[in-house]
Amino acid sequence: MRSARRSDPTLLGLVSVFLLVLTVGAYAEKPNIILIFADDLGYGDLGCYGADLATPEIDRLAAQGLRATDCLVGANVCGPSRSALMTGRYPMRVGHPISRHPFPKYAAYGIAPDELTMAELLKSAGYYTKMIGKWHLGFHVEGSHPLDAGFDDYLGLHSNHLASRPDASALYRNREIVRADIPFTEVTKLYTDEAVEFIKADHKEPFFLYFAHHIPHTPIEASEPFVGASGKPGKDGEYSDVVLELDHSVGRVVAALEEAGIVDDTLLVFLSDNGPARFGSAGDLLGGKYVTTEGGHRVPAIFHWPKRIPAAQVSDALMTSMDLLPLFCDVAGVALPTDRTYDGKNIIKLLTGEETQSPHRYFHYYNGLHLQAVRNEKWKLHFPRSSDDQPYWAKRDSGKRVYTTLEAPLLFNLDTDAGERKNVYSQHPEVVAELMREAERIRAEIGDLHMVGRDQRPHGLANPQEKGEP
Ligand SMILES: [Ca+2]
């Protein structure tokens, strides 16, 4: 009798239907995820971060969601910032602490195939994973292409757009060149068209879209409809025009979500990969891209998900770009792998307003391979440095490149001096001692310029801090 019941086709059918309902039910709870990554957009470049330029689309996202005022990226330049973003780990830990160039030196330097990206983890939960834009993690290195890193499909340029290098202005779909030489001014619209079409498609599964812009990175060139749009003169005006083009693109993505009726079920994150370069503003923060002051690492970061993130929130809790991987895993129902250390933390409760305290105790500022500062939520300690310690992008002071050499350590209270201008080192020896201990701990774990950490993946570069020859 019992064996007959086990093989009862009606009962098996009911069990199957029940399991199907469970599966579909779980699916319906998984949000789509869109990650929009700007390139070199400064902390002070958006209206909602105090710029004297209205960026209505992004400002609206901030008003409808959460705007973070203390979100740090894992590195202050494009390549390693992306290795941190994709893996949820410091670039030193994953063996990708240097920004690569299309030079022979970097021929075998890409994101390691056995690092797990957010795309691979989301794919394991049934997500369709798409990438549009700038990869910059070793596109031509075997095992380091976006399709090797968990993306189902890809459209974009392998690194920065360089009109002077034919391969650097080639548009790829997956592994094939589909346009040999695309003008820079066509890229943003083309990418945005692709994103809109993708969002409006009939999706059978939740999707993850990683949309990595080339703007407002150099060349500072807006496409024709945006030339002069800011009404500002000179090169700063041209930069503002590009920011408006970026804003317009974000608006089209949101409009597509609304038209598809899925905006409430989509977690949309907008942030920048590092601080502003020559043009652009870090607001009241000191420095910009290339250096380890707040202007290099602190970026605009906006979280939008009407179903779970209450509107009109501003959070001053310390967050990092590396938190996005654990966050995405949480909302997708993926258990974080336990075979590796994650530097990012799940920040879902900060976003929903259930918590206001950062899950982070410390943040570590590396410039290339060199540990230059450690902070907790309030205090930041900079260590002495010479130009020899610096990676090629920070060898000397110029423009927003500041504190490239320091003869003595500096301590700042970021609560009252986020601009890192008032050194209080001598007043707080106990804070200095604590941050020094933390520096020793992280050096032992993920290394420093002249030492290898016990959990540091080899980068494989000779003279890693030097740029190399074309
Ligand atoms: Ca960048």
Q: pLDDT tens digits, residue range 202-258? A: 999 999 999 999 999 999 999 999 999 999 999 999 999 999 999 999 999 999 999
For ligand 1, the distance from its centroid to the CA atom of residue 169, given in whole angstroms, is 17
Could you give phi then psi for residue 390, rounded to 5 degrees? -85, 150
Using one digit for the tens of pLDDT, what is the confidence trace for 80-125?
A: 999 999 999 999 999 999 999 999 999 999 999 999 999 999 999 9
Catalytic residue set: 78, 136
3-state secondary structure of 155: strand
- pTM recorded for the entire structure: 0.94
Pairing mode of beta strands 171-173, 370-375: unpaired
Give residue 19's pLDDT.
Answer: 47
Give residue 167's pLDDT.
Answer: 87
Is the pLDDT confidence value at 28 over 70? no
Give residue 164's pLDDT.
Answer: 83
Is the pLDDT confidence value at 26 over 60? no
For ligand 1, the distance from its centroid to the CA atom of residue 299, given in whole angstroms, is 11
Q: Where are the alpha helices (DSSP H) in 30-161?
A: 56-64, 78-87, 91-94, 118-123
Cα dihedral across residues 151, 152, 156, 159: positive or negative: positive
For ligand 1, the distance from its centroid to the CA atom of residue 217, given in whole angstroms, is 6
Q: Domains in the chain, ordered, with CATH?
A: 24-352 (3.40.720.10), 363-446 (3.30.1120.10)
DSSP symbol at 142: T
Is the pLDDT confidence value at 3 over 60? no
The angle at the Cα of 294, spanning 468 to 389, to the nearest 5 degrees, equals: 35
Ligand 1 is an ion; residues with CB less than 5 A from it:
39-40, 78, 273-274
Angle formed by the axes of helices 324-332 and 78-87, nearest 10°: 30
Confirm if 33 and 332 have CB atoms less than 8 A apart.
Answer: yes
